[in-house]
Amino acid sequence: MWHGDYRFVLENLVLKDFKVRYRNMSLGVFWSLLNPLIMMTVLTLVFTRFMPNTTRGYPVAVLCGLVPFNFFTLAWANGTTSLIDNANLIKRVPIPREVVPISIVLSNCLNLAIQFGVLFAFTLIFGYRANAAWAWIPLISFFYILFVLGLVLATSALDVYLRDMRYVVESANTVLFWLVPIVYGFDIIPGGFRQMYELNPIAAMVMALRRIIMQASAPAPTLVWKLALGSVATLGAGWMIFRALERRFYDHL
């Protein structure tokens, strides 16, 4: 039984992760702005100059993919190793253990917020207007974050038992970069694969974001439903896996 202040611990752990990450960089948070912009430039160069492509606003479309995807890869990779990285806390301080992976995901949310700022700035620079559909962004982001949280809870617990989990996650991230519509649009997906695409919360997030920002319209209700259900299901499963595996963390760390 732990009688502490859950929110206070979470807040301190989030701040710790965020500060430690950026304090040792001379450019600090600026790095997290630079990374998606460099990727956007390179991908735009390759996919509009080197390869024939007439998509309007391609750089913005790419950025709509990169921002959620970057959050996903960073949070998932850092979250997965978080229990082992903080083994001294897990083994030596009686705290509710899920605060460790949760704090990593939340600290990456600060990063996501900054990247959203970059996305909005570029949206305006490329001639799109802010519109009423933007009001959907907090809701879809919320479900998207729940999805990442569920995934991180599951893989962080598994990583304690199977130390190769982190390599599985790394490989999955590389594969997902191509399976999520980042450099291409949903319209090129053949009919048979469309259902599967929409069930992937990362793809759903990217598609919803593009529609909101580039077409100034609300995302399709079925897509939002799929995102919501997929996220809540992932979180539920992740939580149960974490709870079940947590009992033997001590023996395996």
Partner 1 sequence: MNRIEFEGVSKKFLLEGGRKLLRGHLRDLWKGAGSEVFYALRELSFTVREGESLAVIGSNGAGKSTLLNVITRLCPPDEGRVSIHGRLSAVLELGSGFHNDLTGIENLRLNASLFGMSRKQTAELFERIVAFSGVGEFITQPLRTYSAGMVMRLAFSVAIHVDPDILVVDEAFGVGDDAFQAKCIERMLAFRRAGKTMVCVSHSMGTLRQMCDRALWLDHGQVILQGPVAEVIAAYQGRTVARA
- Closest CB to partner 1 among residues 86, 231: 86
Q: Does 4 bind partner 1 (CB under 8 A)?
A: yes
Contact window for partner 1 (CB under 8 A) among 44-52, 92-100, 181-189, 193-201: 92-100
Sequence-ordered list of residues with C-beta below 8 angstroms from that of 205, at least 6 positions apart, any chain: 68, 140, 141, 144, 227
Q: Provide long-range contacts, Cβ within 8 A and 24+ apart, for 249-252.
A: 249/83, 249/90, 249/97, 249/157, 249/160, 250/90, 250/91, 252/160, 252/161
3-class SS shares of the chain: helix, strand, coil, % to 5: 80, 0, 20
Identity of the residue, 14 or 118, whose beta carbon is nearer to partner 1 in the bound complex: 14
Least distance from partner 1 to the Cβ atom of residue 10, Å: 9
Work out whether 88 is an interface residue with partner 1 (CB under 8 A). Answer: yes
Per CB under 8 A, which of residues 12..51 are in contact with partner 1?
12-13, 15-16, 19-20, 23-24
Select the residue interacting with partner 1 from 33, 114, 218, 253 (CB under 8 A). Answer: 253
In the complex with partner 1, which residue's Cβ is closer, 9 or 137?
9
Question: Restricting to residues 121-180, which ones interact with partner 1 according to CB under 8 A?
Answer: 160-164
DSSP state, 31?
A: H
Least distance to partner 1, CB of residue 163, Å: 5
Neighbours of 12 (CB within 10 A): 13
**Number of CB atoms found within 10 A of residue 163's CB:** 12
Contact status: 243 vs partner 1 (CB under 8 A): no
